[in-house]
Structure 1
Amino acid sequence: MARPAGVIGKAADEPAPPSDTQRRLDELVRLLEEYLEAEQLALVERAYQFSAAAHEGQRRRSGEPYITHPIAVARILAEMRLDSESIVAALLHDVIEDTAIAKEGVAERFGEQVAELVDGVSKLTAIDSKSKAEAQAESFRKMILAMTRDIRVILIKLADRLHNMRTIWIMPPHKRRQIARETLEIYAPIAQRLGMNALRNELEDLGFAALYPLRYRALKEKLARQRGRRGVILDTVCDQVRTRLEQVGVAGEVAGREKHLWSIYCKMLHKQLNFRDVFDVYGFRVVVSSIDDCYRVLGILHSLYKPRPGRIKDYIAIPKANGYQSLHTTLIGPHRIRLEAQIRTREMHAVAESGIAAHWLYKEVHDDGNKAQLRAREWVQHLLEMQRSAGNSQEFIESVKIDLVPDEIYVFTPKGDIIELPSNATPVDLAYAIHSDVGDCCVAAKVDHRLTSLRTPLQTGQVVEIVRGPFGRPNPVWLDFVVTAKARTAIRHALKRLKDEEALDLGRRMVERALAALSLEIEQLDQARIEQVVEGAGVGSFDELLKEVGLGRRVSWLVAQQLSGVTQGEAELEGRGESGEQIGHLTLRGNEGAVVSFGRCCRPIPGDPIVGFVSSGRGVVVHHQECKNIGVQRKRHENWVDVDWDEAIDAEFPTLISIDVVNERGALALLAHAIAEQGSSIEHVSIEERDGMIATVRFLILVRDRRHLAAVMRHLRAMAPVQRIVRKKDS
């Protein structure tokens, strides 16, 4: 195929030797000529000319013309056999960010799709009033959202990052470390998630060398010293495997492989091993033509060498999250050297090395796409759901980092469906993996038909049933143990929604009470007056104003005064008692949620005399009337809320009891059993030995009210080991 004329080609009779830029360009053209049509090559030529003109006079830190970078990025994509639009976007990927050319200018010359790709890769350059971390997070979020519209955005970005890592040594040390850390934490895991293992391995090793140069050099030297003897053994094993395959009539390609340095380093770090204790540095791969042959080869290898028990993994039947498929087995080879063998078909090998890029690179998987692409689309949609629920860009990027954890487990639902989860996932993670509604109303879990704590880590092969309840709701404690980004994001979103609903309900009740003191009801208020107050408060709606009251950011009687139109003097006469206390009243039902909290200093329970104070952001905080910590609040009458207990309250409240008990074997178990007998549960226990004979045990228990507490204490007081029991109103 003839090259297009112009700058992208070079005349045959040109006497001067080609420049470095021209040489790189020629290499790119030769690659593109192998699979692009003449019309597509002409488009690439126009893109090069446009990019070269836009970057004219710009140089990289190394002193090279800047255009060498877009050419290098385009070449990486050309090696993947990506389409012409991707190559064009690679050549143009920095023009919006680093030149005066706008997205519209790119769209006008090269089309909307190319413009969207270029814009998706470009960082946000002007973000007002934001820190550098926030700006980076916003740019990352922008790229991820562009990736949800066109997966090629991330391929261009990964190629961009790979070339930057190849040339990173020109950067100052602190900048090198920053870029390397970001590469290892975000871009290499994304490449792995998309199944692009060859690119991921190179990113990881380059990142390792830049972040920990001394460790990298030492490990590389040790590996080189070991390579000689073990390399000979590996060659012998490969020859024996080839011979056996020929004997049984299985056509397959056998090749040795070496674990890359970052992978070895991570294994040494996580398992606290010395290099000499890492036995699976070397291995080999067998590539065959069919899935049946994969399982035949597994049997052949096990007949040649003994397999290690528990080290056989079938990723063909259950592929990894990124679509990777292979059979893995660890064998005891000659001289008792452990060798990891991978067995896969040619199509699986294409997907394993190139992931989603295999769609463009290999024609045999072109027509229907590949499993890596299907998994990538699912993951991208999952990212889209996460960003919708994330509170801000930094929260989103942290969620993405969590979501990129590579280790997986596989559990079964009672119906036999397989659910893939990260290592150490809990039943709550599984509930949210099924559906956010399942997670929100999860109350318990059965693992292998036995009730299990929701914080219990799951293991591969377990059958897990999620128990849902009509009144189930997310618990903030779940955030301490869930590991999936989807669960974490969904819990935060649900808790925020619940808090908003609870704040609205509480705020309405408080304003209604305050209006009642002025002989008014909300329904009687003038709509124009409400709109005027809402506008003056700077909130979007009347509900938002009520939420502000419920969260303690506004005082209910002042809002009631504004809504009613009563003057300050009239409010003082009608809205407050002689001693200045707030007449507005709030009856606690026990279902107020996060917008009503109880002082941990005094832990009031139903039946106790209580006082309430409005605290900004926390809503109403309730204390025992005798609490020592409310002295300052007593002077702030405007923050008072008149509170009492509902007669039919149905909830449990924590309270602290202190027991002096004879220090004898089994005493703690007796006390715990006695508490349970009275229908109370223990939240926390602590023990302090006063002397050899007496110990003080403090129980934080849940009770319904003072009568229930009295019953528990009477029962405990009657026990022989108990010397003294008191309720503690300070913790």
Structure 2
Amino acid sequence: MIESVLDNTGFGGFRTAEPANDRDDAGPDSSGICAQPRLSSCRSRNNPHIRDTMLRQYELVERVKSYDPDADEALLNRAYVYTVQKHGAQKRASGDPYFSHPVEVAGLMTDLKLDQETIITALLHDTVEDTLATIDDIRANFGPEVARLVDGVTKLSKIEQMPENERAAENLRKFLLAMSEDLRVLLVKLADRLHNMRTLHFIRNPEKRRRIARETMDIYAPLAERVGMYEYMREMQLLAFEQLEPEAYATITGRLAQIRSQEGGQVDAIALEIKHALAEAGIQAEVWGREKHPYSIWRKMAERHVSFEQITDIMAFRVVTENVEDTYRALGVLHQVWQFVPGRFKDYISTPKTNGYRSLHTSLIYGKSMRVEVQIRTREMHRRNEFGLAAHWAYKQGDRPDGQVGWLRDLIEIVDASQDAEELLEHTKLAIYQDRIFAFTPKGALFQLPKGATPVDFAFAVHTDLGAQAVGAKINGRHMPLRTPLNNGDVVEIIKGATAEPQLNWLGFVVTGKARAAIRRFVRAKERAEVATIGRKLFDEIVEQIPAKIGKKAIAAALERLELDDEDDLMHAIGAAKLSDREVMEALVPGSTADMPEEPTQGKAISIKGLTPGMGFSLANCCHPVPGDRIVGLRRKGEGVEVHAIDCLQLANGVDADWVDLSWGERSQGAVGRIRSVLYNRTGTLAEMAGVFARNHANVINLELVERDDPFHTYEVDLEVQDLAHLTRIVSALRASDSVAEADRI
């Protein structure tokens, strides 16, 4: 039964007559481990502890007041009622009232004991997106801080209405910027996505379910890991895995259930044995076990190319001690009682992960051949490990955990460097993926990098300027190539040169988003400067055609007419062929082109893929490439890119230039192909050849008699053709003519 409640704010509330449920029960988490003590928010639809009823208004307020007695009860009530009123009769795919979703997200935030502004943001996070409410309304009713947080969450929510790459990239860009200003934006968004994943099965469209699951796996689960919210990460991965690989999910979960039924409580027995061994050594500890996370097993099977039966470490155990000293003592006891697996020990207490995760990891051989993984940490470490930054958020004391989010600065640097949607998504995913290694500077500073990282990645991680000036590297004292993959514990010394600069070929082996973004940014800046240099030369030639002196005043007026910001932009536009000579002359001196003939349009429809946007290019005269040819670019300092056919003889002779992989754009047409045609020296043969060109709709650009050898005349003809197929048809038609002795493409 629901009864209306009025508070002193003037807003009406809602309350159910049933008593509150105790939501702080202990139980299995999303990965199967009995997390003790656990936070009750982590319930999936497969979890027996999930609530059957929505969190009530007074329950929510009581939960906040239980850890923050000074919280503004009236403001919380007003926010609860506001979201109920605004969402009104809206329904979710499950058929539940829509406002149940923001209420549940707020409940997840209270489980993490977050401040009242975060709770209110969770309640209101969909009002701007899905109702008539505006950010100004939120600001007027709940203050500027809540309005700013709601706006940050809303920016990422808008990705649902945009095209795939553009949608994800542009809003991810806005979201990362908002997140860098206040990490609570991320915490609310992660809870929002987690609750949506728990109800994803209600969406009927399988493609939409898969898209949401893929986005969760690629962006949200890694972000949860990066802020140390492993509980959220595991549940997101499990639910996404179920949608993306349903057969694998069913097989692995089925095999795990089978193992549980056959073991007859073996997990509990091993946990009890570990606890007894520690107790005999005088160490008090809590021990519990689980089977490995199904997604973790599947990923290990894929990486190692093995079957389920070949995965030996299906079981994992956690040991929670009272203090740090006992964690190391416990490790020693376990290594004495059971043989440990070499190479499987990791000390994340002395060298924590970037997200603050701290624990000892080891693998033991139990019995004759069973491998079990053991994680040893203190109670406080366990709490922080499962819920990361959210577990110790303390805004009222000003204790913002900025020390653990240095990676955010890298993400913002990537946002600034990325030029398009695909680049931003690629670099961001690289920056937030999980598998890491540790490497040291010669002075002992520690840096965490993805597996496969190279000295170039390391240099950019230390400082962008160091990466830009790298010319070599010493790994553990030995000179090694810059493309050498680093291993855990390597000491890396970067050798730099004062005049060195990032190389384009580094993109072939660097793996970090920060390195890739910095290299591409530098290459673009260098190429822009080169294009502008070309533009300056062309500008001087254009000015010579104008019968008037061109000064700074004329250039300033031209910039205004062309809507360009400065002179560099003008030179770049000229060098990149974005402006014709005629357009530049008319902008400098209006009316100066009145008596000039119209410019030819040949070649204007050509587009090339693989060039930096705005980079000028020309089609080589030696091989006359046409669309359909395999092509490559030659880039020389101070010049544009020269496009050659891949089998051009000039390339075979060797050239002093950088090679650039290129391909034709979708709209490319109107290139010039060159043909050598040998005609019989008799009346009408030249007219017959011209007729072949006309019948095949080829425009003759140039015709030259190159050899006269009675009874033959040899001509070289430049033809404007659509593509390689068009040129080939013309050559075939010439060969079929009685007037033509030979015909070949040059």
Aligned residue for 1:550? 575
Q: State TM-score, norm by structure 1.
A: 0.73
Amino acid at match of 2:459: A
Q: 1:213-362 maps to which residues of 2 (within 5 A)?
A: 213-230=246-263, 232-360=265-393
Q: Secondary structure at the match of 2:300?
A: helix
Deviations 1:128-187 (A, max 9, x none): 997343133322222222111110111111111111111111102121111111111111
Indicate whether 1:7 and 2:13 are aligned: yes
Indicate whether 1:485 and 2:513 are aligned: yes
Deviations 1:359-399 (A, max 9, x none): 14xx9x997959xx445431222222211121134432321
**Could you tell me how far 1:517 is from its partner in structure 2?**
7.5
Aligned residue for 2:558? 533
Out of 140, 144, 164, which is 2:196 matched to?
A: 164
Indicate whether 1:133 and 2:133 are aligned: no
Indicate whether 1:437 and 2:482 are aligned: no
For the Cα contact (< 8 Å) 2:159–2:171, is it kept in 1?
no
**Could you tell me how far 1:208 is from its partner in structure 2?**
1.2
Cα–Cα, structure 1 residues 527 and 602, in superposed 2: closer, same or farther, change >3 Å?
Answer: farther
Q: 1:25-174 maps to which residues of 2 (within 5 A)?
A: 25=57, 27-37=59-69, 39-123=71-155, 131-172=163-204, 173-174=206-207
Using the alignment, how far apart are the partners of 1:267 and 1:628 within structure 2?
58
Deviations 1:6-35 (A, max 9, x none): 62545699xxxxx97666545544533422
Using the alignment, how far apart are the partners of 1:594 and 1:350 within structure 2?
59
The size of the alignment, in residue pairs, is 593
Cα–Cα, structure 1 residues 38 and 130, in superposed 2: closer, same or farther, change >3 Å?
Answer: closer
Deviations 1:444-488 (A, max 9, x none): 222233332222211122222222223212222212221101011
Q: Which runs of 5+ in 1 are unaligned?
A: 14-18, 573-589, 619-625, 637-729
For the Cα contact (< 8 Å) 1:4–1:41, is it kept in 2?
no
Deviations 1:615-653 (A, max 9, x none): 9x99xxxxxxx9999xx99959xxxxxxxxxxxxxxxxx
Amino acid at match of 2:502: P
Using the alignment, how far apart are the partners of 2:473 and 2:639 within structure 1?
25
For the Cα contact (< 8 Å) 1:561–1:571, is it kept in 2?
no
Using the alignment, how far apart are the partners of 1:337 and 1:316 within structure 2?
26
Aligned residue for 2:637? 592
For the Cα contact (< 8 Å) 1:410–1:461, is it kept in 2?
yes
Q: Which runs of 5+ in 2 are unaligned?
A: 20-50, 598-634, 666-672, 677-697, 703-744
Cα–Cα, structure 1 residues 126 and 216, in superposed 2: closer, same or farther, change >3 Å?
Answer: closer
Using the alignment, how far apart are the partners of 2:636 and 2:579 within structure 1?
22
Q: CA RMSD in A?
A: 3.8
Using the alignment, how far apart are the partners of 1:69 and 1:128 within structure 2?
17
**Could you tell me how far 1:490 is from its partner in structure 2?**
0.8
For the Cα contact (< 8 Å) 2:15–2:56, is it kept in 1?
no
Indicate whether 1:508 and 2:541 are aligned: no
For the Cα contact (< 8 Å) 2:456–2:482, is it kept in 1?
yes
For the Cα contact (< 8 Å) 1:124–1:135, is it kept in 2?
no
Cα–Cα, structure 1 residues 198 and 492, in superposed 2: closer, same or farther, change >3 Å?
Answer: same
Cα–Cα, structure 1 residues 315 and 127, in superposed 2: closer, same or farther, change >3 Å?
Answer: closer
Using the alignment, how far apart are the partners of 2:316 and 2:54 within structure 1?
41
Q: 1:270-669 maps to which residues of 2 (within 5 A)?
A: 270-360=303-393, 373-374=401-402, 376-513=404-541, 515=543, 525-554=550-579, 559=584, 563=588, 567=592, 592=637, 595-597=640-642, 599=644, 601-603=648-650, 635=701
For the Cα contact (< 8 Å) 1:425–1:458, is it kept in 2?
yes
Deviations 1:193-224 (A, max 9, x none): 11101111111111111222232122111001
Using the alignment, how far apart are the partners of 1:436 and 1:202 within structure 2?
36
Using the alignment, how far apart are the partners of 1:288 and 1:607 within structure 2?
67
Cα–Cα, structure 1 residues 570 and 71, in superposed 2: closer, same or farther, change >3 Å?
Answer: closer
Amino acid at match of 1:36: D
Q: Secondary structure at the match of 1:7?
A: strand
For the Cα contact (< 8 Å) 2:138–2:146, is it kept in 1?
yes
Using the alignment, how far apart are the partners of 1:239 and 1:306 within structure 2?
18
Using the alignment, how far apart are the partners of 1:153 and 1:144 within structure 2?
9
Amino acid at match of 2:169: A
Amino acid at match of 2:139: A
Cα–Cα, structure 1 residues 486 and 327, in superposed 2: closer, same or farther, change >3 Å?
Answer: same
**Could you tell me how far 1:64 is from its partner in structure 2?**
1.4
**Could you tell me how far 1:278 is from its partner in structure 2?**
1.2
Using the alignment, how far apart are the partners of 1:73 and 1:569 within structure 2?
68
Q: Secondary structure at the match of 1:296?
A: helix
More helix by proportion, 1 or 2? 1
Cα–Cα, structure 1 residues 207 and 541, in superposed 2: closer, same or farther, change >3 Å?
Answer: same
Deviations 1:569-622 (A, max 9, x none): 9989xxxxxxxxxxxxxxxxx9725635474635489999x9xxxx9x99xxxx
**Could you tell me how far 1:115 is from its partner in structure 2?**
1.0
**Could you tell me how far 1:289 is from its partner in structure 2?**
2.1
Amino acid at match of 1:42: A
Using the alignment, how far apart are the partners of 1:564 and 1:310 within structure 2?
74
For the Cα contact (< 8 Å) 1:141–1:397, is it kept in 2?
no
Amino acid at match of 1:539: L
For the Cα contact (< 8 Å) 2:61–2:76, is it kept in 1?
no
